[in-house]
């Protein structure tokens, strides 16, 4: 048994969480051990094994194209027989679309002390889909620095309805293994700030992802087809999901997250295609949601799918003026145009909501709208206290959702038993 005491980041907040007894699954224990091990990955190097991008021709003036210099520094470090560091010193460096390819011969640290900026011309990326891509790297760390995609022009193009490029993700890790990402700040992304796809054993801590609340589709942290991921002690303030959890995600632990503005933590959207992998063993704990459009959400399109959501724990969470603190939406269709008319094939089971407190900006604080043909099963509500800001009692809504109630549930539970 484990006991966790969590309180609001504001010591004057009246929404203080109580001491909660938690039973950790074997998978959660494994994640905790994994995070500890990754914390101590040895990325130390001697001074002679530091590859400074300036030595390869990069200019810290924010104007000169330093893309080739960054790539040369990476390539030199990557073939080193000993642990190496790529160093980006103080200053501002202009970098266009770039791919850092691994695996490298030895452990590698990518240390950023300065700021990396993208081209102001949002057409410069074409249809590539990425700005900075780490492909098939292993046993590396990305530490520090600010990455500014300067996407205000791109957002304006999108909002105007003009012909615009598809946009790029700022920092992408593809098929990476045994990686630590620490102290990184990403600003003003065109699309997602940071994305992991097909990755294994990645520890992400103390990052900050920032874009205006009205910036379109600027997801914060996205994970898909990955396993053994931890995200801790981070702040995400964006115009879309703070964290997006896609198909094929397993063993993902999120803790001490400050989310808002944004759309909350979302599993999905799922059922985009018929043959789709599931989401399993996800934990979101000890986190605060402020002014978000959703708190913790599971969303799927209303169409056939082989997908599923299983063994999910939302626990020890504070909601501050959140529009939909607890929501399952299996009729997801954000534009309300051309929506599918089937029933979602995604099977949702064993989802626990435990010790969630705070205020809802809408009267309906809990909305569990499950599939007509695939009911949500094994839902657990335990120690829920959500109030409506207007002084009116909060309400709950359920459709085809069954499970168990434990402790005090406010608003009153609507689960089928």
In whole angstroms, give the CA distance from residue 199 to residue 136: 9
Q: For the chain, what is the total number of helices (H) and then of strands (E)?
A: 3, 32
C-alpha distances (whole Å) from 150 to each of 125, 167, 303 are 13, 12, 37
Q: Are 252 and 302 in contact (CB under 8 A)?
A: no
Paired tokens of 245:
């959890």
Mean pLDDT over each residue of the chain, to the nearest integer:
91
Paired tokens of 217:
């589709």
DSSP state of 161: T
Is the pLDDT assigned to residue 236 strictly greater than 80? yes
Could you list the active site residues?
A: 263
Which segments of 206-294 does DSSP mark as H helices, in order?
A: none
Q: Which of 120, 112, 102 is nearest to 147 (CA)?
A: 112
Is the pLDDT assigned to residue 233 strictly greater than 90? yes
In this structure, of 8-17, 51-60, 77-86, the range with the lowest mean pLDDT score is 8-17
Summarised one tens digit per residue, pLDDT across range 301-339 is 999 999 999 999 999 999 999 999 999 999 999 999 999
Q: Give me the sign of the Cα torsion angle 239, 240, 243, 249.
A: negative
Summarised one tens digit per residue, pLDDT across range 66-100 is 999 999 999 999 999 999 999 999 999 999 999 99
Contacts of 164 (CB under 8 A, 6+ apart): 122, 154, 157, 158
213 CA to centre of own chain: 16
Is the pLDDT assigned to residue 8 strictly greater than 60? no
150 CA to centre of own chain: 20
pLDDT for 116 equals 98
> What confidence category does residue 289 fall into, taking pLDDT thresholds of 50, 70 and 90?
very high
pTM (predicted TM-score): 0.89
Region 342-356: mean pLDDT is 97
Region 263-276: mean pLDDT is 97
pLDDT for 392 equals 84
């Amino acid at each position: 048994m484990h006991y966790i005491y969590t309180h609001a980041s504001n010591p004057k907040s009246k929404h203080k969480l109580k001491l909660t007894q938690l039973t950790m699954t074997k998978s959660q224990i494994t994640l905790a051990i994994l995070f500890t091990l990754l914390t101590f990955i040895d990325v130390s190097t001697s001074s002679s094994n530091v590859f400074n991008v300036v030595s390869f021709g990069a200019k810290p003036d924010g104007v000169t194209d330093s893309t080739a210099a960054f790539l040369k520094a990476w390539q030199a470090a990557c073939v080193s027989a000993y642990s190496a560091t790529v160093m980006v010193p103080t200053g501002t460096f202009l970098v266009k679309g770039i791919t850092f390819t691994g695996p490298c011969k030895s452990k590698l640290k990518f240390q950023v002390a300065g700021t990396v900026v993208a081209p102001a011309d949002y057409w410069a990326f074409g249809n590539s889909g990425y700005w900075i891509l780490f492909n098939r790297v292993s046993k590396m760390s990305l530490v520090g620095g600010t990455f500014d995609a300067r996407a205000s022009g791109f957002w304006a193009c999108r909002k105007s309805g003009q012909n615009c490029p598809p946009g790029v993700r700022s920092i992408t890790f593809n098929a990476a293994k045994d990686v630590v990402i620490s102290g990184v700040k990403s600003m003003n992304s065109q699309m997602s700030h940071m994305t992991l796809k097909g990755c294994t054993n990645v520890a992400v801590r103390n990052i900050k992802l920032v874009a205006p609340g009205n910036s379109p589709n600027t997801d914060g942290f996205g994970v898909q087809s990955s396993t053994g991921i931890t995200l801790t002690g981070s702040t995400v303030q964006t115009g879309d999901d703070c964290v997006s959890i896609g198909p094929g995600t397993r063993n993902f632990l999120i803790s001490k997250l400050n989310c808002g503005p944004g759309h909350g933590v979302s599993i999905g959207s799922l059922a985009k295609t018929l043959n789709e992998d599931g989401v399993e063993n996800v934990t979101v704990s000890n986190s605060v949601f402020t002014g978000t459009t959703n708190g913790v959400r599971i969303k799927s399109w209303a169409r056939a799918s082989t997908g599923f959501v299983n063994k999910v724990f939302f626990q020890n969470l504070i909601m501050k003026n959140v529009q939909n603190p607890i929501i399952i939406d299996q009729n997801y269709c954000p534009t309300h145009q051309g929506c599918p008319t089937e029933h979602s094939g995604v099977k949702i089971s064993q989802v626990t909501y435990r010790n969630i407190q705070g205020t809802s900006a809408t009267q309906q604080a809990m909305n569990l709208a499950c599939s007509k043909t695939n009911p949500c099963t094994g839902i657990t509500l335990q120690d829920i206290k959500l109030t409506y800001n207007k002084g009116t009692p909060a309400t709950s809504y359920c459709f085809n959702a069954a499970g168990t109630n434990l402790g005090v549930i406010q608003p009153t539970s609507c689960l089928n038993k």
